């Protein structure tokens, strides 16, 4: 029972913000009846899924971890939610997350943090810490996430689960509460590579309601995961990214993370893969570029929370209150500290006179990062790195030091800037703290299946 595992906010895992036990049981009964009638059901029909609270669900609260949307009940489903329902997946409820998906620890949730099931004093990653913790605590077998700058992959890494950020445009953004629209990407989370693939195929595909949705068919990731599970990677070329924990560039990476990473490389060689080191020199600037582009887009997306249209409205006391005063009071109370920090950064970076120096330069770096990846993928089929430089850190450890929190995203962010797909999968526990280590796989745009082939072989 989720209520027993999830526990109270103060001490439990607190993976869920909302549990719809009644709705889930009713849906399961419907599916049982369909099965009894002899209806053809999808392979995942009846399998429960925990949905990140950034995905809107008709008739079910969707807060994105913010007071701004507390109590709001959306009148429509996100495309991914619709697709999962059509396949017969049963929504268990909504999972905790950093407010509007800004953060790497789930501590920026307005509703209290989620704890890592491996150690209660550790963070479960973020922003999708609730989904990852729900999987690691066996509260749900499948979950969804969004990855704008690592929010699927980094929580997977620190909880010993699997998470995939598909190629940008591979999963519809319709109904995903926007953070940074040029980076936002929904994707699947599970405990195994094959389970992740099964969910990926359900979530993916073209959506005319999302203008950046790819028109390609969903990549055949289930077949790739099965192929990979046979363990033969003969002819596959794997590039170790020098700048992301590769030889000689391991500053800030925990020894136990590097040790498990090195062992995973041996495993790849044993499976027949050719492992070489490649350099992507501009990745050094990716983190800085991301933390300009993301706040810029976020400041624009979050402008919709004005206390007028929907969500929280705070009306200050007194006569003759103006609309501006309502907006200011609403935003002062509704947004948490991290959201405010990023709105300030973003509006500054976009302001006239500074636009070229900040936003413009960041966009140029984005192009250089894309070129680095293109050059690397001319030599190798997939790239690998540790997903995160460290295992799960302690709750509170980085809360007062935003830059330290941002630095943990160094390995995950480049993929978002380039729009390429990425996977994190578990490769054992770090000897020094006994906590899970994640390996990141990256592939060229539209080649999501390669992640599953190589990931399947490593599992
Ligand atoms: N850690 C990233 C950030 O704080 C996570 C963003 C995301 O993927 N939603 O911006």
Share of the chain above pLDDT 90, in %: 95
Give CA separation, 196 vs 5, 169, 276, in Å.
23, 18, 27
Q: Which atom of ligand 1 is nearest to the CA of 290?
A: 10
Query: What's the gap in Å between 403 CA and the centre of ligand 1?
Result: 13
pLDDT tens, position by position, 185-242: 999 999 999 999 999 999 999 999 999 999 999 999 999 999 999 999 999 999 999 9
Predicted local confidence at residue 176, as pLDDT = 98
Rg (CA), the chain: 21
Pair type for strands 16-19 and 48-52: unpaired
Cβ 149 under 6 angstroms from ligand 1: yes
Decide: 101 in ligand 1 pocket, CB within 6 A: yes
Residue 247 vs residue 450, higher pLDDT: 450
What would the mean pLDDT of 63-89 be, rounded to a whole number? 97
The residue whose C-alpha atom lies closest to atom 4 belonging to ligand 1 is 103
Contact (CB, 8 A) for 185 and 170: yes
Distance CA 408, CA 411 (A): 8
CB of 81 closer than 6 angstroms to any ligand 1 atom: no
State mean pLDDT over 92-104. Answer: 98
158-187 confidence digits (pLDDT tens): 999 999 999 999 999 999 999 999 999 999
| Cβ of residue 294 lying under 6 Å from some atom of ligand 1 | yes
DSSP β-bridge partners for residue 442: 383, 422
Report residue 4's pLDDT band, with 50, 70 and 90 as the boundaries. Answer: confident
pLDDT of residue 9: 80
- The strands making up 436-442's β-sheet, listed across from edge to edge, are 16-19, 90-95, 48-52, 142-146, 186-190, 162-165, 422-429, 436-442, 382-386, 237-241, 274-278
d(CA 351, CA 287): 21
CB 90 within 8 A of CB 28: yes
Query: Hey, which of 126, 301, 424 would you mutate to test ligand 1's pocket, going by the most ligand atoms within 8 Å of its Cβ?
Result: 126
Distance 388 CA to ligand 1 centre (A): 13
Task: Give CA–CA dist 361/42, Å, rounded.
Answer: 47
Burial of 174 by CB count in 10 Å (0-12 exposed, 13-18 middle, 19+ buried)? buried
Cβ partners under 8 Å of residue 225, min gap 6:
193, 194, 196, 197, 452, 453, 455, 456
In the reported structure, the alpha carbon of residue 18 is separated from the centroid of ligand 1 by a whole-number distance in angstroms of 22
Q: Give 417-427 pLDDT, tens digit per residue.
A: 999 999 999 99
- Asked if the model's pLDDT at residue 368 lies above 80, the reply is yes
Indicate whether residue 103 lines ligand 1 (CB < 6 A).
yes
- Return the structure tokens found at 262: 């090195």
pLDDT of residue 275: 98
CB 190 within 8 A of CB 142: yes
Q: Give the ligand 1 atom nearest the CA of 408.
A: 1
C-alpha of residue 346 to centroid of ligand 1, in Å:
15
User: Does pLDDT of 15 surpass 70?
Assistant: yes
- Does the C-beta of 186 come closer than 6 Å to ligand 1? no
For residue 48 the two structure tokens come to 């429960």
pLDDT in tens, 276-324: 999 999 999 999 999 999 999 999 999 999 999 999 999 999 999 999 9
CB burial string 345-369: b at 16+ within 10 A, e below: bbbebbeeeeeeebbebbbebbebb
pLDDT at 248: 63
Quick: pLDDT tens for 34-55.
Answer: 999 999 999 999 999 999 999 9
Torsion of CA 263, 240, 190, 212, to 10 degrees: 180
Q: Is 148 in the pocket of ligand 1 (CB under 6 A)?
A: yes
Neighbours of 181 (CB within 10 A): 16
Q: Is the pLDDT of residue 250 over 80?
A: no
Q: What's the mean pLDDT when you consider all of the chain?
A: 96
Q: Residue 294 C-alpha to ligand 1 middle, in angstroms?
A: 9
- Top mutation candidate among 129, 158, 185, 294 for ligand 1, by most atoms within 8 Å of CB: 294
Protein fold of 2-286+362-458 = Amidase signature (AS) enzymes (3.90.1300)
Cβ–ligand 1 distance for 131 under 6 Å, the answer: no
Does the beta carbon of 338 lie inside 6 Å of ligand 1?
no
Tokens of 92: 């268990």
Q: What is the pLDDT of residue 202?
A: 98
| Ligand 1 centroid to residue 180 C-alpha, Å | 10
Give the mutation target among 64, 98, 131, 185 for probing the ligand 1 site: most ligand atoms within 8 A of CB: 98
Q: Is the pLDDT of residue 3 over 90?
A: no
**Binding site membership of 185 for ligand 1 (Cβ less than 6 Å):** no
Active site members: 52, 127, 151
Asked if the ipTM is above 0.90, the reply is yes
Instruction: Give tens-digit pLDDT for 386-417.
Output: 999 999 999 999 999 999 999 999 999 999 99
> Which residues lie below 8 Å from residue 377, measured CB to CB, with a gap of 6+?
383, 443, 444
Q: How far is the CA of 29 from the centre of ligand 1 (A)?
A: 37
């Amino acid at each position: 029972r989720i209520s027993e595992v999830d526990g109270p906010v103060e001490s439990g895992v607190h993976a869920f913000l909302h549990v719809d036990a009644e709705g889930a049981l009713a849906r399961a009964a419907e599916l049982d009846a369909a099965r009894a009638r002899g209806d053809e059901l999808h392979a995942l029909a009846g399998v429960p899924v925990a949905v990140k609270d950034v995905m809107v669900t008709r008739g079910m609260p969707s807060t994105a971890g913010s007071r701004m949307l507390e109590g709001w009940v959306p009148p429509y489903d996100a495309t991914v939610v619709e697709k999962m329902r059509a396949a017969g997946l049963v929504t268990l409820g909504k999972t905790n997350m950093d407010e509007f998906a800004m953060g790497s620890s789930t501590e920026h949730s307005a509703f209290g943090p989620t704890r890592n099931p491996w150690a209660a004093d550790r963070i479960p990653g973020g922003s999708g810490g609730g989904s990852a913790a729900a999987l690691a605590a066996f509260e749900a077998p499948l979950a969804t996430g969004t990855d704008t700058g690592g929010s699927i992959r980094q929580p997977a890494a620190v909880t010993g689960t699997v998470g995939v950020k598909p190629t940008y445009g591979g999963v519809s953004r319709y109904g995903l509460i926007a953070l940074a629209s040029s980076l936002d990407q929904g994707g699947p989370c599970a405990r195994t590579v094959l389970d992740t693939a099964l969910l990926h195929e359900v979530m993916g595909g073209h959506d005319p309601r999302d203008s950046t949705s790819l028109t390609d068919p969903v990549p055949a990731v289930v077949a790739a995961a099965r192929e990979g599970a046979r363990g033969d990677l003969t002819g596959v070329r794997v590039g170790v990214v020098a700048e992301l924990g590769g030889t000689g560039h391991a500053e800030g990476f925990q020894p136990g993370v590097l040790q498990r990473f090195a062992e995973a490389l041996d495993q790849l060689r044993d499976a027949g893969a050719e492992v070489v080191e490649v350099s992507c020199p501009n990745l050094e600037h990716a983190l800085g570029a991301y933390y300009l582009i993301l706040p810029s887009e976020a400041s624009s997306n979050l402008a919709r929370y004005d206390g007028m249209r929907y969500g929280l409205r705070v009306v200050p006391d007194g006569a003759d209150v103006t609309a501006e005063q309502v907006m200011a009071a609403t935003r002062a109370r509704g947004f948490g500290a991290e959201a405010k920090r990023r709105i300030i950064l973003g509006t500054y970076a976009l302001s006239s006179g500074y636009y070229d120096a900040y936003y413009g330069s960041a966009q140029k770096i984005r192009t250089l990062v894309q070129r680095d990846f293109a050059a690397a993928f001319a030599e190798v089929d997939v790239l690998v790195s540790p997903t995160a430089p460290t295992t799960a850190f302690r709750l509170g450890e980085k809360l007062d030091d935003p830059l330290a929190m941002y630095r943990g995203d160094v390995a995950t962010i480049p993929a978002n800037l380039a729009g390429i797909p990425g996977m994190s999968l578990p490769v054992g526990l770090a000897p020094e703290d006994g906590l899970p280590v994640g390996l990141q796989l990256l592939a060229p745009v539209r080649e999501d299946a390669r992640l599953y082939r190589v990931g399947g072989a490593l599992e």
